[in-house]
Structure 1
């Protein structure tokens, strides 16, 4: 149950998609004066070293944030791959750069640290983090403690699906919820659907963002369809974005360990998305494919309803 470690996948293409959208949604939601309550149901460790044992072993950031920075924030401005970078992509790049010093990326912030950086003290925004992995919860608690954020951020070793119920609806009637379990257990897909269904009954106007992997498993293909049905039944707008970097050519380099294709595609499904998100993604997604795409099957989709 506790075998999944996000540290192996930190900064990969799925993180790029997820965190680009998280930042864009948080920017919009923090424009209103009323306090915002943000909840991350599966927080992980919060901060990751891209040159550490985990991320360094998998090398997934090389096809994600590292590749994106090399193309869009090169050391020589003349080497930039795209001149007019989509605003939400530029915001993502600047946010990640803010956690690093110099030009080399060594630290990758997970969702907890990205969200916390966008919270407003004056509005008394709050962040609730849930994590069950025994190692990650210790790392998360230690990392958050260094922020000295006080009551702004709370960490709990608890099942996020269950823990979320105690925080919606929030007193301010404004909430952003990120749901991104590992999906290593098949039941996670059903739990996500149940969580969204229950959350919409408890607090129909919250913004709910679900990340999921696009893999050859029936549950993975059924999930966005179920979420569309739930949002439609509740009479709420929804947005669905996917990014597929495609299959890489086989490269067997003598003396180097062989690496599998790994995850090539993922999606984000948002209930009650900011009205500005679709147009922003329409500019950003093609640029992500242009930079991160690596072969057969690459592409992106963007649809909305409600």
Structure 2
């Protein structure tokens, strides 16, 4: 496994993923009961956009840098930008938070987080980054296998009825990764049917994803929602033209809350031919 997210931190895909992630966290914390979050591919959880990896690709310039400059007034995006500001106040002007940091920022003292990372070096950095937070357990292990090992979640005698599983794989296996991710989702739903599941996926050619959409619609969940941001037309299989989030058991009216945010991200980050999409593959009952 050679993937390092540091090369891509803060790009347009991260913007979409993290805006949605924070909105899901806010839906969870709107109720007082403790909740649990599992991040299956946590990487190092915190990045420096002035570091060698980020500077080499420059992807953040067309992602978080552009969004900060535009500063859309949409509430979900403002929530995200406030988290970026909080991260930079704590870690420096060029810091960028990964999903474990955002989970720790958004969730509460009574909540618990498990973050997994398979790559040994990245897992060690992840552990060091969150060594002072007792809410977070870092697991140097395969995130897909962790779904079976850690669900249904419990902490001591506490069992969590509510929570989130974030699956954000590197897609080194290209389209074959979708099968592994969907298998993990099926396992998670069988073990924790009331949990929310969120899968991030890249979009090169959307028509190539039709089998994935059909399989996602058939999952044994109360609902299946896709939220997508294309920053350019999906006319090339050689580059990532956009990305999406598949949400199983999404919060009530989450599509309506996210649609304006998708439009604002498209306007701020998109080139000619950019598009956004919010669609139920399976509508909630």
Instruction: Name the TM-score, length of structure 2 as normaliser.
Output: 0.90
C-alpha contact 1:38 1:175 (8 A) present in aligned 2: yes
Residues 104-126 of structure 1: CA deviation (Å, up to 9, x unaligned): 950100000000111211xx210
Q: After superposition, give the CA deviation of every residue in 1:61-114 in whole Å (9 maximum; x if it has no partner).
A: 011000000111xxxxxxxxx5xx111111011111111149x95010000000
Structure possessing the higher radius of gyration over alpha carbons: 1
Residue 59 (structure 1) aligns with: 58
Number of matched residues? 272
Q: How does 1:182-193 map to 2 (within 5 A)?
A: 182-186=170-174, 187-193=176-182
Q: Is the 8 A contact 1:48 1:108 kept in 2?
A: yes
Tell me the SS of whatever aligns to 2:204: coil
- The structure with the largest strand share of the pair is 2
- The CA distance in 2 between the partners of 1:224 and 1:175, in whole Å, is 24
Matches within 5 A, 1:1-306: 2-72=1-71, 82=72, 85-101=73-89, 105-121=93-109, 124-145=110-131, 148-150=132-134, 152-170=135-153, 171-186=159-174, 187-216=176-205, 220-230=209-219, 234-246=220-232, 262-295=239-272, 297-304=273-280, 305-306=283-284
- Calculate the aligned-residue CA RMSD, in Å: 2.0
Unaligned 5+ segments in structure 1 are: 73-81, 248-260
* Matched residue SS, 1:275: coil
CA distance in 2, matches of 1:201, 1:163: 14
Q: Is the 8 A contact 1:86 1:280 kept in 2?
A: no
Structure 2: gaps spanning 5 or more residues? 154-158
Which 4+ runs in 1 deviate beyond 6 A?
none
Please give the secondary structure, in 2, of the residue aligned with 1:158.
Answer: coil
